[in-house]
Amino acid sequence: MHTVREAAAAPGGEPALKESERLESIRLMRVNHAGEVSAQALYRGQALAARDSAVSDAMRQAAAEEMDHLAWCEQRLSELHGRTSLLNPLWYAGSFAIGAVAGAFGDRASLGFITETERQVESHLNDHMERLPEADRRSRLILEQMAEDEVRHGATALALGGKELPIALRRAMRLASRVMTRGSYWL
């Protein structure tokens, strides 16, 4: 998979992971990969429905950065001798539909959806950085760069006019995220 930016590498190499650590890193990176599959679909669905060209351009730029994240996670999974989620086609299709529907409610609502999504992703990445085995510095560096990008995507969406979403929708988004993360952790 082609990337614009290279993934961060741990200086001085990486210590060998115990088998239990390697398996946990695989599961967490598989969830992150599935999240990036979903992000691609969300952004593409929203860009398709965007009314303002500046919003559409911002969505496409974010999608390009999410493509880097996708490639980094896939590369790391390969290095760990892991695999991607078997549920990725489902996550992509569902997320594209959600993105297109969010976009149909107008640019402000769509941008608000991005802002909330990125808040939740940042929280999720922070949780994964805490759960990663201490010896897995490479995965941690990748997640740190991803978190930095996600914060910027959310801030950009807010600056472009994103509106706060109703609490019920934010809770529904958290629930959907839990389904995806738990499913991808194992499958």
User: Closest by alpha carbon to 128, among 35, 42, 39?
Assistant: 35
What pLDDT score was predicted for residue 84?
Answer: 97
Is the per-residue pLDDT at 14 higher than 80? no
What pLDDT score was predicted for residue 71?
Answer: 94
What pLDDT score was predicted for residue 22?
Answer: 96
Type of residue at 58: A
Average pLDDT score over residue span 109-131? 92
Compute the C-alpha angle 116/25/23, nearest 5°: 135
pTM for this prediction: 0.90
Distance CA 14, CA 142 (A): 14
pLDDT band for 2, please (50, 70, 90 cuts).
low
Average pLDDT score over residue span 139-166? 92
Sheet strands (E) in 68-171: none
Measured between alpha carbons, how far is residue 58 from residues 15, 55, 98 in Å? 39, 5, 18
Per-residue pLDDT tens for 39-87?
888 888 888 888 888 888 888 888 888 899 999 999 999 999 999 999 9
User: Closest by alpha carbon to 30, among 77, 81, 80?
Assistant: 77
pLDDT band for 9, please (50, 70, 90 cuts).
low
Is the per-residue pLDDT at 10 higher than 60? no
84 with 33: CB under 8 angstroms?
A: yes
Domains of the chain: 19-186 (1.20.1260.10)
Q: What token pair was written down for 58?
A: 């911002």
Is the per-residue pLDDT at 6 higher than 80? no
Contacts 24+ apart (CB under 8 A), 150-155: 150/118, 150/121, 150/122, 150/125, 151/118, 151/122, 153/62, 153/65, 153/114, 153/118, 154/114, 154/115, 154/117, 154/118, 154/119, 154/122
Per the listing, tokens 């979903």 go with 38
Average pLDDT score over residue span 143-159? 92
Task: Determine what percent of the chain is predicted with pLDDT higher than 90.
Answer: 58
